Amino acid sequence: MNAPTASGSTLSVPTVKLLIGGEFIDSRSTQWRDVVNPATQAVLARVPFATPQELDAAVGAAQTAFKTWRKTPIGVRARIFLKYQQLIRENMKPLAAILTAEQGKTLPDAEGDIFRGLEVVEHAANIGSLQMGELATNVASGVDTFTLLQPLGVCAGITPFNFPAMIPLWMFPMAIATGNTFVLKPSEQDPMVTMRLVELAIEAGVPKGVLNVVHGGEAIVNGICDHPDIKAVSFVGSTKVGTHVYRRATLAGKRAQCMMGAKNHAVILPDAHKEQTLSQLVGAAFGAAGQRCMAASTAVFVGESQKWIPDLVAKAKTLKINAGHEGGSDLGPVISCSARDRVTTLIEAGLREGATLELDGRNPDVGAYGKGNFVGPTIFSNVKPSMSIYEQEIFGPVLVILSAKTLDEAIELVNSNPNGNGTAVFTQSGAAARKFQEDIDVGQVGINVPIPVPVPLFSFTGSRASKLGDLGPYGKQVILFYTQTKTVTQRWFEDDVVTGGVNTTISL
Ligand code: NAD
């Protein structure tokens, strides 16, 4: 089916399908949007805003599938994920090509996006050893107590544009491996690689109705939050939308976990290894065009380390900006024209508010890709906490530099920022690093590691405005999120033992 474009005409571009009850189908929606290559503005596909009836159908299919999936043996479930990880590996290059075309990041970075999701799939294949209850014998005479970690039912996931492979893979493999069924709502800006990953999951053997996909924006997200048959919602995205989702979903009685926005500080002490630190900082600030929730978007130079700013600027100038599929490019475009305009407007605000523009990435020359949404590496120094470029998450290739006299002052600055997603300290002092890890109020802490995203043996987390809900995605925490603990207390009577008759006091 050819879907109408925003302007109403019908063109031969592919449509992004819904997945309902094991069938990839075209939506009956009248509302569609273009999926656009951010380097060229080419329309790659059209994605529907699914109707309320389609959401009902997806949830209904998931509810039906839950009846048998929840009782499917652990080994059968595990083997599907073993097969799935193999299929993802075999398809790494074509998956990365789709991701780069619709999202903009470089091909190696797209492979990294997929790989970090693949690690969660590998972990999902090992779920049996994590989803085990506890047992205590003889809690009273002849009485044993044990716990079951049972799946909840239909769970849902709502994902952002910036990691269209990794973040969907944070969610549905873990939910499904623990015995739940799932409705996924990918980002409407780049749903194509997510759909290819979903196709591979079906190919790996995920049964009909266990995984379903609907597309859309605000209306479908609200529909998910309100739906009486969805038990839990996982969200990753901006703080504004995540806060709304958390409130609305929990008001409707659901479990919710919302991983949200960031302003990640890298604190550079004067005893840090200079070359390593500056290289890591440049990579973490400008990689993926700054569109990582863990991007090191804010540098705090402590004491004498401020003298390194010219060297930092020189390193940033060496980065190559180009379309993500072009070899040798270090950063590609930002996701949309409006994202580019937003970043540019914030750069203008930084200038107006008195910060020093050390490197201006506006209007870079990108040769054949003049229509792309490019912004080059941009660096501001002399930034004050009251400035817009510090107060807002820019989500583009803009590094803002503040200064602090001491480590204590830097820690106070980081802890005063409303966001608490990621942070890093660069130092060669164990004592300083230990003080930092103890006193900083941020979810992910790196010590000479600029983007400390935890591997799936651990869980992703976040403090303050960066997270709502107590349990994080993937790892051990998400087993508890996606399961209900049931406690069973049992006694077996032996035929020849006579009990003491009726007892009306509370005891075992
Ligand atoms: P976003 O909040 O705009 O969108 C996230 C999801 O919410 C999408 O699926 C979108 O369709 C939906 N949505 C958008 N507007 C909505 C509305 N008004 N009502 C209901 N649903 C709505 O986020 P984004 O721009 O796609 O992603 C970037 C943001 O995500 C950044 O703030 C980044 O820091 C954050 N992020 C956080 C993490 C983390 O783990 N903490 C990871 C990745 C991205």
Q: For the residues 112-120, what does the mean pLDDT come to? A: 98
* pLDDT at res. 168: 98
Its CATH architecture, for the domain 265-447, is: 3-Layer(aba) Sandwich (3.40)
Q: Is 293 a catalytic residue?
A: yes
Nearest to 404 by CA among 265, 267, 262: 267
Which ipTM was obtained for this model?
0.99
**How far is the first Cα of the chain from the last one, in angstroms, to the nearest whole number?**
65
Q: Which ligand 1 atom lies nearest to the CA of residue 187?
A: 9
What percent of the chain is predicted at pLDDT more than 90?
94
* pLDDT at res. 9: 46
* pLDDT at res. 209: 98
Q: Which ligand 1 atom lies nearest to the CA of residue 217?
A: 11
Instruction: Pull the structure tokens for residue 44.
Output: 């790659």
Query: Where residue 508 falls among pLDDT bands split at 50, 70, 90?
Result: low
* pLDDT at res. 11: 58
What is the 236 CA–ligand 1 centroid distance (Å)?
Answer: 6
**pTM score:** 0.96
Residue nearest to atom 23 of ligand 1 (CA): 237
**Cβ-count burial of 410 within 10 angstroms (0-12 exposed, 13-18 middle, 19+ buried)?**
buried
- 155, 225, 258, 293: the catalytic one is 293
Alpha carbons 183 and 210: distance in angstroms, whole number: 8
Q: Which ligand 1 atom lies nearest to the CA of residue 186?
A: 9
Alpha carbons 330 and 310: distance in angstroms, whole number: 20
What is the 354 CA–ligand 1 centroid distance (Å)?
Answer: 30
What is the 30 CA–ligand 1 centroid distance (Å)?
Answer: 24
Nearest to 224 by CA among 247, 255, 249: 249
Q: For the residues 386-410, what does the mean pLDDT come to? A: 98
* pLDDT at res. 1: 43
User: Using the 8-state DSSP alphabet, how is residue 404 labeled?
Assistant: E
* pLDDT at res. 12: 85
Residues of the chain with CATH 3.40.605.10: 18-260+475-487
Q: Which ligand 1 atom lies nearest to the CA of residue 262?
A: 34
* pLDDT at res. 388: 98
- The pLDDT tens digits of the residues spanning 9-61 come to 455 899 999 999 999 999 999 999 999 999 999 999 999 999 999 999 999 99
Alpha carbons 216 and 222: distance in angstroms, whole number: 10
- Mean residue pLDDT of the chain comes to 96
What is the 172 CA–ligand 1 centroid distance (Å)?
Answer: 17
Residue nearest to atom 43 of ligand 1 (CA): 293
The most confident of the ranges 120-134, 191-205, 482-496 is 191-205
Residue nearest to atom 15 of ligand 1 (CA): 218
Q: Which ligand 1 atom lies nearest to the CA of residue 161?
A: 26
Residue nearest to atom 22 of ligand 1 (CA): 218
Q: To test the ligand 1 pocket, which listed residue (170, 187, 190, 423) has its Cβ within 8 A of the most ligand atoms?
A: 187
Which residues have C-beta atoms less than 6 Å from ligand 1?
A: 158-163, 185, 187-188, 217-218, 221, 236-238, 241, 244, 259-262, 293, 393, 395, 421, 460, 462, 466
Q: Which CATH topology does 18-260+475-487 take?
A: Aldehyde Dehydrogenase; Chain A, domain 1 (3.40.605)
Residue nearest to atom 6 of ligand 1 (CA): 160
Residue nearest to atom 38 of ligand 1 (CA): 293
User: Above 70 in pLDDT, residue 8?
Assistant: no
* pLDDT at res. 207: 98
Nearest to 415 by CA among 385, 376, 442, 434: 442
Query: Where residue 497 falls among pLDDT bands split at 50, 70, 90?
Result: low
What is the 153 CA–ligand 1 centroid distance (Å)?
Answer: 25
* pLDDT at res. 280: 97
User: Above 70 in pLDDT, residue 2?
Assistant: no
Three-state secondary structure string covering 420-463:
ECEEEEECCCHHHHHHHHHHCCCCEEEECCCCCCCCCCCCCCCE
- The pLDDT tens digits of the residues spanning 315-338 come to 999 999 999 999 999 999 999 999
Higher pLDDT, 364 or 508: 364
Instruction: Pull the structure tokens for residue 411.
Output: 């820690």
What is the 471 CA–ligand 1 centroid distance (Å)?
Answer: 19
What is the 241 CA–ligand 1 centroid distance (Å)?
Answer: 6
What is the 117 CA–ligand 1 centroid distance (Å)?
Answer: 18
* pLDDT at res. 498: 65
Residue nearest to atom 40 of ligand 1 (CA): 259
Q: To test the ligand 1 pocket, which listed residue (102, 116, 238) has its Cβ within 8 A of the most ligand atoms?
A: 238
Q: Which ligand 1 atom lies nearest to the CA of residue 237?
A: 30
Nearest to 348 by CA among 340, 289, 333, 332: 340
- The pLDDT tens digits of the residues spanning 130-167 come to 999 999 999 999 999 999 999 999 999 999 999 999 99
Query: Where residue 7 falls among pLDDT bands split at 50, 70, 90?
Result: very low
Residues of the chain with CATH 3.40.309.10: 265-447
